[in-house]
Amino acid sequence: MSTSFDLKLWLDRHVVPLLGPESSLALHSVLQNRPPSAERPVAILVWTVSKEPQGWAPAIKRLLAQPGCYFDFCRAPQTVPVAPDRSIWLFGGDGAPYVNAAGMAMARLYRRCDDGIELIMEVGHRFPTGAAAAAAVKDFFALFEGTAPLELVARYMPLFGTG
């Protein structure tokens, strides 16, 4: 694996500016989908968390307003090497806001950066209950003033071949 790619510089350029005013989002973890012989990654997967429960929905809306940011739909899962003989499968499928029973509300966003590297960013917050997380997703859709959820999802769906 080549060492010429500087992940910290890339994150400073492409991710840190997206974290928001007064850093409303915190960077939780980062993985690279980088084939062994590649000079740079194909994709960088970033997990962020909203520092405050009320900041989760506005953070996603703010990110979707950024040029080239979309919900992460219809992609194959990322195969990410984590050791010479071990890879894991991450993401793929539907990135629209969703919840789990443990109270995590999440949305996954996609952006093809100007250097051709795909940024896949998951924005989450752990709420006290699954019901509170579901209410946060409802609040997210309410930020768009009467736009039906399916219309909103269609508006922020990347076109195939672009991004």
Question: Is residue 163 a part of any domain in this protein?
Answer: no
Domain assignment present for 2: no
The whole-number pLDDT of residue 92 equals: 57
pTM of the model: 0.83
pLDDT at 106 > cutoff 60: yes
DSSP state for residue 74 in the 8-state scheme = S
Provide the pLDDT for residue 99. 86
Number of domains the chain contains: 1
Determine, yes or no, domain membership for 127.
yes
Give φ, ψ of 162 to 5 degrees. Answer: -130, 180
Query: What kind and span of H or E run contains 12?
Result: helix 7-14
Q: Kindly state the tokens that stand for 157.
A: 């769906």
Q: Does residue 131 belong to any structural domain of this protein?
A: yes
Q: Name, in order, each residue with C-beta under 8 angstroms of 90's C-beta and a sequence gap of 6 or more.
A: 31, 45, 77, 78, 80
Q: Which residue has the tokens 């789990």?
A: 100
Question: Quick check: is 81 in a domain?
Answer: yes
Predicted pLDDT at 46: 93
In a domain, 161, yes or no: no
Instruction: Let me know if residue 41 belongs to a domain.
Output: yes
Domain containing residue 99: 7-155
**66, part of any domain:** yes
